[in-house]
Amino acid sequence: MRRALAVLLAAIAMTACQSAKGPTTILEGRVTDAAYQAISGASVQVDTSAAFGLVREPAGIVQFSPENDGFFSVGRLGRATYRVTASAPGYVDQTKLVEVEPPLRQTVEFVLHRR
């Protein structure tokens, strides 16, 4: 239930940041430590201002927390390259440029290392 609510809230937030034109898809993934265990307190940011090839009004950052198992999902992303950052207290942030190509579902994995 909590995961479904997190996905719904992320989708609503992205809707506010995205033009309704064109097909959309889902970006999903997981944030773990070097032992592939979920990290408590992790967060994921999708920087919509970094999207290349798609006009967004308004541009901004959508931030959300993965579930206890480290999995996250955000919907309604249009074709673009997004800057996605995973972070957690006591860990080095990791940023990836992720190319999203609707209607294909895109997966990105983050493995964070202690400072």
> What's residue 13's pLDDT?
45
**Across-strand partners of 72?**
29
Q: How far is CA 77 from the centre of its chain?
A: 10
Provide the whole-model pTM: 0.73
Strand order in the sheet with 80-87: 61-64, 43-52, 80-87, 94-100
Write the pLDDT tens digit of every residue in 51-76: 655 544 445 566 778 888 999 888 88
